[in-house]
Every structure is written in C-alpha cells, then in structure tokens.
Amino acid sequence: MDAPKSASRASSLLLSAVKHGHQSFVHQRRVRVLAETLAGQIPHGARVLDIGCGDGTIASLIAQLRPDISIKGVEVMVRPGCKIECHPFDGSKLPFPDNSVDVGMLVDVLHHTSDVSVLLREAARVSAKFVLLKDHLSESALDHGTLRFMDWVGNRPHGVTLTYNYQSRAQWNEHFAACGLSETSFTSDVPLYPAPFSAVVGRHLHFVGLLQKLQTR
C-alpha cells in the first residue's frame, strides 16, 4: 500500500473513531441538556423556526417537552429523514416573510458563518418577538483553542464547514444591538458535559440567550 492511501485510510479510521466516541460520550447528553434548556426559554404557544436544524433531533425533543409550541426548520442541505418539517435555504436569506414566526432559534450555527450578523439579522427579521440563541463565548486564546478542538471533534467527521468564528461577550453585545435585539435572559451556565470534562470544555464557553426584538416605528 502506497503512502497516500495508507495516510488516507488512517485518517478515515481516526475520524470514524472520533465520531463514535463523540456519539457515545458527549452527543446524547449534549442533546438532552440543550433541549431541556432551550425548551424552558420558549414562550407559551410560540411558532418556532429552527435555523440550521441539522437532522431535527434537538427540535423534535423540544417539541416533545413543549407540546404547546409548533416548530419547523431550515437547513442548507435538507437531510433525508429529518425529524421535523424542514425547508431548504441558501445559508443567508431565510425563505419566509417578516414577522412570520414568534421565535427564530439558532443552535450552534452562527460560529460556522463568516459574518455572524447576517444570519442573526435574518432571524430577527422573520421573528415577530424573539431570537433564541445557543453559541459560544471566546475571551482568550485558550478559549479559542479549546473551542476549535471541540468543533473539530464534533463536526469534522460529519463534513461540517468549520470557520471557527467565535465571539467574545462584548462582540455579541455589538451584534445584538446592530440587529435590533435586547437580552431578556442570558446564561453561560449550561451543563453540557459531566465532571471532570466540564472543567476543560465547559467553563462558561457556552451560552443560551433569549433576545427580544426591539419594536421600531
């Protein structure tokens, strides 16, 4: 076997092992905690749009926890067997009119974009009331490096584009203001990982924020 083929096979085996390990030890807990945390932030009876919904797993769990809401999704590449109603979009322009849902939800999506404000502004446009956001906080080189590693482990085996576009708290505040959003709630206490892993990949690198759309005249 020549060197390039050997290297390619080794790389495939590594990615397969990473994918299996992440699924077994991280993914299931992460999905459960996120669904429970996000479900608790959604107003009663809301119409929710999950922007970048993936396979719809988190959204479907939220719907089970909150039967009073309705939820649909959009994705750049709609996956066969998506667990919720899902529509295609181009990654920047949402195919819905202004104020057509109550809550635009973005779960670990914006740090994969080249410009955070583009899709955040679209979420605010289609939402009549709120934007519900789960993403990362990066305040140092250590934070950035840790998040890069986590992103690679969680997404590289699935072929997800990795831009590593993490924002600090101050930068997020600027994006919120620029998109006409104000904080209703914000927490970086999101227990996605058990001890002792939480001390390394937890430590307030993750946040959930409910942002209210400012009314303009």
Q: What is the pLDDT of residues 19-77, one digit of tens each?
A: 444 444 567 888 999 999 999 999 999 999 999 999 999 999 999 999 999 999 999 99
**Most confidently predicted of 134-148, 159-173, 197-211:** 134-148
Domain interval for residue 183: 3-213
Predicted local confidence at residue 210, as pLDDT = 98
3-state helix/strand/coil string of 79-110: CCCCCCCEEECCCCCCCCCCCCEEEEEEECCH
pLDDT tens figures, 112-160? 999 999 999 999 999 999 999 999 999 999 999 989 988 877 765 566 7
Q: What is the count of structural domains for the chain?
A: 1
Which are the contacts of 29, defined by CB distance < 8 A and separation ≥ 6?
A: 192, 193, 194
Average pLDDT, the chain: 86
Q: Are 168 and 137 in contact (CB under 8 A)?
A: yes
pTM, whole model, 2 decimals? Answer: 0.84
* Measured CA angle at 20 (ends 195, 193), to 5 deg: 20
Return the CATH number at 126. Answer: 3.40.50.150
Q: Residue 61: in which H helix or E strand, if any?
A: helix 57-65
Indicate left, alpha or beta for 120 from its phi (over 0: left) and psi (-120 to 50: alpha).
alpha
Question: Tell me, what's the pLDDT at 86?
Answer: 97
Query: What average pLDDT does range 95-123 have in this prediction?
Result: 96
Mean local confidence (pLDDT), 171-176: 98
* First-residue to last-residue Cα distance in the chain: 69
Top pLDDT among 5 and 59 is at: 59
